[in-house]
């Protein structure tokens, strides 16, 4: 009887220990959840997805390099980079990431080309950056003997469809709807081991985006909220809703897709709008699981999706 009780206690302990130490199949970390606004609270848009030892980085807003190093991730260790579109709040951090990631100290260390995928125009962007920073590259090559391969771009213009497929980790690009004047513009789906994460990219409501995220583990959507008074008094704001999702637009996408977890990852709070206003607007349409992302918030994806706000011990 005592042995039976001990056995049951041991089994229970093992089960609890297993739950406590289960490794996520994939993880997603928001490096920057902000907009073009140069605020220290939310850096420019950038999202890190980790699966099967691969580090995949989506967009490179202002400060992406700083956030990576806050996580003790050397900039040169990103496996592949993916761009959604050419708005500067998604590219402003690219030269920093590319150039600083090439440097020899612990925070850099890239010795192989910078792998970059994006819509048509990505190869031209890489070529332009290489020209713009040619003097720095030439000086460091002679002065520091940094390896030339580490500052080369391996850039690819890609069409919608499968763009990355390595050891079971697959990335698909899809065209979203960022308004008639902002094309091309992509979102991305990342799949691994039966789990799926979808990043909307910058988009207004799009049934294509919602269909990509149908039943996904994690559906990250961009959003902007403009208080009614601001919308009425400042005509320029009306145009914003022509190319970005309002809270109810995003809520319709969430309601269509019914993901395990819906989250905002590119958050535009205009005027005096707050995240509480954002949530209240969403709740008029969508009643499922919802999180408003913050910088360095981490999502761990396995049998369930766990949200971990940033804490110092992870540094
Ligand atoms: Zn945009
Ligand atoms: Zn944007």
pLDDT digits 0-9 by tens, 228-251: 899 889 888 888 888 999 999 999
Label residue 11 by pLDDT band (50, 70, 90): very low
Question: Minimum-distance ligand to the CA of 183?
Answer: 1
Centre of ligand 2 from the C-alpha of residue 250, in Å: 15
Cβ proximity of 19 and 306 under 8 Å: no
pLDDT digits 0-9 by tens, 98-115: 999 999 999 999 999 999
Centre of ligand 1 from the C-alpha of residue 186, in Å: 10
Centre of ligand 1 from the C-alpha of residue 187, in Å: 11
Centre of ligand 1 from the C-alpha of residue 307, in Å: 26
Centre of ligand 1 from the C-alpha of residue 85, in Å: 7
Residue ranges with CB less than 5 Å from ion ligand 1: 87, 202
Say yes or no to pLDDT of 132 above 80: yes
Query: Would you state the pLDDT for residue 129?
Result: 98
Average pLDDT, the chain: 91
Per cent of the chain over pLDDT 70 is: 92
Q: Which domains does the chain have, with CATH numbers?
A: 25-310 (3.60.15.10)
Cβ proximity of 75 and 106 under 8 Å: no
Question: Minimum-distance ligand to the CA of 92?
Answer: 2
Angstrom distances, CA of residue 283 to CA of 54, 97, 228, 279:
36, 37, 18, 6
Query: Would you state the pLDDT for residue 47?
Result: 98
Label residue 312 by pLDDT band (50, 70, 90): low
- Interatomic CA distance for residues 59 and 209, integer angstroms: 18
Query: Would you state the pLDDT for residue 8?
Result: 46
Centre of ligand 1 from the C-alpha of residue 315, in Å: 30
Centre of ligand 1 from the C-alpha of residue 36, in Å: 10
Strands 305-308 and 80-82: unpaired
Question: Minimum-distance ligand to the CA of 243?
Answer: 1
Query: How far is C-alpha 202 from the chain's CA centre?
Result: 11
Centre of ligand 1 from the C-alpha of residue 222, in Å: 10
For the segment 24-38, the average pLDDT, to the nearest whole number, is 96
Query: Would you state the pLDDT for residue 241?
Result: 87
Segment among 14-23, 69-78, 134-143, 195-204 with least mean pLDDT:
14-23
Centre of ligand 1 from the C-alpha of residue 131, in Å: 25
Tell the burial category of 269 from Cβ atoms under 10 Å away from its Cβ (0-12, 13-18, 19+).
buried
Q: Give strand pairing partners of 127.
A: none
- Interatomic CA distance for residues 170 and 174, integer angstroms: 13
pLDDT digits 0-9 by tens, 255-293: 999 999 999 999 999 999 999 999 999 999 999 999 999
Cβ proximity of 172 and 117 under 8 Å: no
- Interatomic CA distance for residues 102 and 108, integer angstroms: 5
Question: Minimum-distance ligand to the CA of 87?
Answer: 1
**286: closest CA among 256, 264, 260, 265?**
256
Say yes or no to pLDDT of 210 above 60: yes
- 234 vs 61 pLDDT, higher one: 61
How many CB atoms within 10 Å of residue 276?
9
Strands (E), 167-260: 169-175, 186-192, 195-199, 218-225
Say yes or no to pLDDT of 313 above 70: no
Q: Categorise residue 107: left if φ over 0, alpha if ψ from -120 to 50, beta otherwise.
A: alpha
């Amino acid at each position: 009887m005592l042995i039976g009780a001990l056995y049951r206690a041991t089994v229970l302990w093992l089960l609890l220990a297993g739950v406590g130490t289960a490794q996520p199949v994939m993880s997603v970390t928001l490096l920057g959840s902000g907009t073009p606004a140069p605020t220290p609270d939310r850096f420019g848009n950038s999202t890190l997805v980790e699966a099967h030892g691969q580090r995949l980085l989506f967009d490179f807003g202002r400060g992406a390099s700083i956030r990576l190093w806050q996580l003790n991730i050397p900039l040169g260790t990103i496996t592949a980079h993916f761009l959604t579109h050419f708005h500067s709040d998604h590219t402003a951090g690219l030269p920093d990431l590319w150039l600083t990631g090439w440097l020899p100290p612990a925070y850099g260390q890239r010795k192989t080309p910078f792998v970059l995928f994006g819509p048509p125009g990505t190869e031209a962007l890489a070529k332009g950056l290489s020209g713009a920073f040619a003097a720095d590259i030439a000086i460091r090559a002679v002065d520091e003997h940094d390896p030339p391969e580490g500052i080369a771009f391996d850039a690819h213009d890609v069409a919608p469809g499968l763009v990355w497929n390595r050891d079971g980790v697959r990335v698909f690009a899809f065209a979203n709807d960022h308004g008639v004047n902002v094309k091309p513009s992509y979102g991305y789906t990342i799949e691994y081991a039966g789990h799926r994460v979808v990043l909307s990219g910058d988009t207004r409501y799009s049934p294509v985006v919602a269909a990509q995220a149908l039943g996904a583990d994690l559906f990250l959507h961009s959003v902007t909220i403009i208080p009614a008074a601001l919308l009425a008094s400042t005509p320029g704001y009306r145009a914003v809703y022509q190319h970005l999702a309002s809270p109810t637009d995003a809520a319709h996408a969430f309601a269509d897709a019914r993901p395990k977890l819906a989250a905002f990852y590119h958050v535009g709070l205009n005027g005096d709008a707050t995240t509480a206003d954002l949530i209240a607007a969403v709740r008029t349409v969508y009643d499922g699981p919802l999180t408003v992302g913050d910088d360095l918030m981490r999502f761990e994806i396995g049998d369930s999706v766990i949200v971990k706000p940033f804490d110092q011990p992870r540094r």
